[in-house]
Amino acid sequence: MVNRSLCPYLLIWNAVEGIALGKLPISPKKLAIIAGVAILLLYLYFVGFWEVVQIILALDPRAAILAILIDVLCISLFTLSWKVLLSPPGMGFLRSFEVVLVSIFGDMMIPTGSVSGEIVRITMTTKRSRLSIGEATASVVLHRLILAVTFCGVLGLGIILLAANGAMQLSSFYSFIAIGVSTIAVSLLGVYLAINSRKFERHICGLISRMAPLIKRLKRDYDAERSKERAVSALCAFQESITGARRRSLILSAAIATVRYFLVALIPYVMFLSIGYPISYWAVLMVSIFVSMVQLMPVGIPGLVGVIEVSMTGFFMGFGVPAEIAASVTILSRLVTFWFELLVSGLTASYVGFRVALDEGKGKGGGSGGSTVAPLANPPVSA
């Protein structure tokens, strides 16, 4: 019989022993969720929980509905700015919209700085269209580069207007300049790598050769030469799609992406107006851009719960907004941009998963003639 007074010490010992042996007493994902919730609770404690609640309860319901409509429009514009980059025959808008929603859910559940969402986009695009994996990858990479370039343009415009109105401190000015310069540098590097992707063909084939023995241990029928052929083919399709992109499509995608950035800032701006706090739209735009940078950081906490709230509130406070007002607007905005999107994207992902399982079941059940129904080959969503 173990003495109950020793139980806490035994638990601590088991935890320490598990860490020493490389086994955590709790999974990393659960640990990340707990960390996010802890950050959120501390955040609410320091900004004043009841003051924030009172401000939120005073929100006009019409403002909440308007914010949701703006968010849906922003997702639609994101989809459209990517769709115009897809090589013919591409995909219909509804099908592209569905892919984007599932990728949003992937980003929220697996926070890897948008990498997981982009992988979902590429994978679903190859299954739902006649595009090769190289063409699908090229469209996603091009889209990301365009978003980065338009990000710099909107950031530069916001800096100029805020500086002209005297609504920005010198330290903030330098911070925004540093962000803009670093983003431009990364974008230029991305453009160079995309245009000259064929130069890395030898390195990719060499990597496949070095990894082949390890992969063969896991998969005995693995063919390294066939993998090299597929990689080279995908690389060729990727570069052809990048270099062959139509100028009209690039300009149209950039214009749509720019409009989307301005609309995203309207969500917190509407919240400020609804609670009766006057603020410059350009200040809200700068905060929205800053927050979009934070969202690209692979922190590891699903949905960056707690991290975004703290960051966004801090940015608003940097523009002189009181803590309780900044926290209230942040929470209201996150109800739309995170919780609403999580609900919609989660339902969409569940629907897609159910449809895939249904198609696979039909394929297995209807194999009398040796034919199978390819999953997602003819999805019921109209284009």
Question: Residue 378 domain-assigned?
Answer: no
- The whole model's pTM is what? 0.70
Q: How many CA atoms lie within 13 A of 26 on its CB side?
A: 9
d(CA 256, CA 283) in angstroms, rounded, equals: 22
Q: What is the pLDDT of residue 244?
A: 57
- Is 150 a member of any domain? yes
- What total of structural domains would you count in the chain? 1
DSSP string, 146-166: HHHHHHHHHHHHHHHHHHHHT
Lowest mean pLDDT: which of 179-193, 240-254, 281-295? Answer: 179-193
Q: Are 125 and 131 in contact (CB under 8 A)?
A: yes
**Could you read off the pLDDT of 274-325 as tens digits, one per residue?**
888 888 888 898 888 888 877 776 665 666 676 788 888 888 888 888 888 8
With a cut of 90, say whether residue 6 has pLDDT above it. Answer: no
Residue 117 maps to a domain: yes
Q: Sorting pLDDT into bands at 50, 70 and 90, what band is 111?
A: low
- In this prediction, residues 188-192 reach a mean pLDDT of 66
pLDDT value, residue 15: 41
pLDDT at 366 over 80: no
Q: Give the residue with greater pLDDT, 206 vs 49.
A: 206
Q: Helix 133-165 vs helix 281-294: angle between axes, to the nearest 10 degrees?
A: 140
Count other C-beta atoms under 10 Å from residue 375's C-beta: 16
Nearest CA to 83 out of 73, 75, 91 is that of 91
Residue 3 lies in a domain: no
Each residue's pLDDT tens digit, 16-45: 344 444 444 555 555 555 655 565 566 555
Domain that holds residue 79: 25-360
State which of 21-35, 234-248, 363-377 shows the largest mean pLDDT. 234-248
Q: Is residue 159 part of a domain?
A: yes
- Asked if residue 205 is part of any domain, the answer here is yes
Average pLDDT over residues 121-136: 81
Residue 127 included in any domain: yes
Is 173 inside any structural domain?
yes
Q: Which residues contact 149 (CB under 8 A, 6 or more apart)?
A: 187, 254
Segment 86-107, tens digit of pLDDT: 866 668 888 889 999 988 888 8
